[in-house]
């Protein structure tokens, strides 16, 4: 079963939300050291014994994820607006067609039984 784009976007949103929640905590020392070895800058305390990771890496990641989440949210809202507009256009078109038929007094085909019989006759499945 193929997943709809909306569910994929929602899953991505949940991942971003989980990452955002995790970014609000101080990373464990092992992760901090890994960030330092990956090219992050560090600040050394006045005693020179404690190395703290530069928060810029986390702040930048947080900003990127936030902007991506907002972008995806806007895309979903645009898709929903397009869908709603299309549904409204189809409804309006169907309403207009019915009104035209009514105004032209072409209402004889509104009999569903007769329409079904005509369909069977034209398709060759009617035995009368």
3-state secondary structure of 54: coil
Confidence of residue 35 (pLDDT cuts 50, 70, 90): low
Confidence of residue 48 (pLDDT cuts 50, 70, 90): very low
Cα gap 44→28, rounded to integer Å: 17
The predicted model scores a pTM of 0.37
- pLDDT value of position 70: 94
DSSP 59-124: HHHHHHHHHHHHHHHHHHHHHHHHHHHHHHHHHHHHHHHHHHHHHTT--GGG-HHHHHHHHHHHHT
Domain ranges (residues) in the chain: 5-123
Cα gap 84→105, rounded to integer Å: 32
Q: What percent of the chain has pLDDT over 90?
A: 23
- pLDDT value of position 27: 56
- pLDDT average, residue stretch 19-45: 56
- Give the pair of three-digit tokens for residue 120: 């069977």
- pLDDT value of position 13: 79
3-11's contacts with Cβ under 8 Å and 24+ in sequence apart are 5/79, 6/76, 6/79, 9/72, 9/75, 9/76
Cα gap 83→81, rounded to integer Å: 5
Q: What's the pLDDT tens digit per position in 52-107? A: 556 788 888 899 999 999 999 999 999 999 999 999 999 999 888 888 877 777 66
- pLDDT value of position 65: 93
3-state secondary structure of 44: strand
Return the CA Rg of the chain: 31
Q: Comparing 1 with 7, which gets the higher pLDDT? A: 7
The winner for highest mean pLDDT among 3-7, 20-24, 105-109, 113-117 is: 113-117
């Amino acid at each position: 079963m193929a997943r709809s784009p909306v569910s994929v976007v929602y899953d991505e949103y949940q991942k971003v939300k989980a990452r955002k929640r995790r970014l609000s905590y101080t990373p464990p020392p092992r992760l901090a050291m890994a960030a330092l070895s990956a090219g992050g800058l560090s600040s050394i305390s006045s005693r020179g014994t404690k190395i703290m990771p530069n928060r810029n890496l986390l702040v930048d990641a947080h900003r990127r994820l936030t902007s991506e989440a907002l972008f995806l949210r806007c895309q979903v809202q645009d898709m929903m607006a397009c869908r709603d507009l299309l549904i409204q256009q189809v409804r309006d078109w169907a309403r207009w067609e019915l009104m035209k038929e009514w105004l032209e007094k072409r209402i004889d085909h509104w009999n569903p039984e007769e329409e079904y019989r005509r369909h069977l006759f034209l398709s060759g499945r009617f035995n009368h």
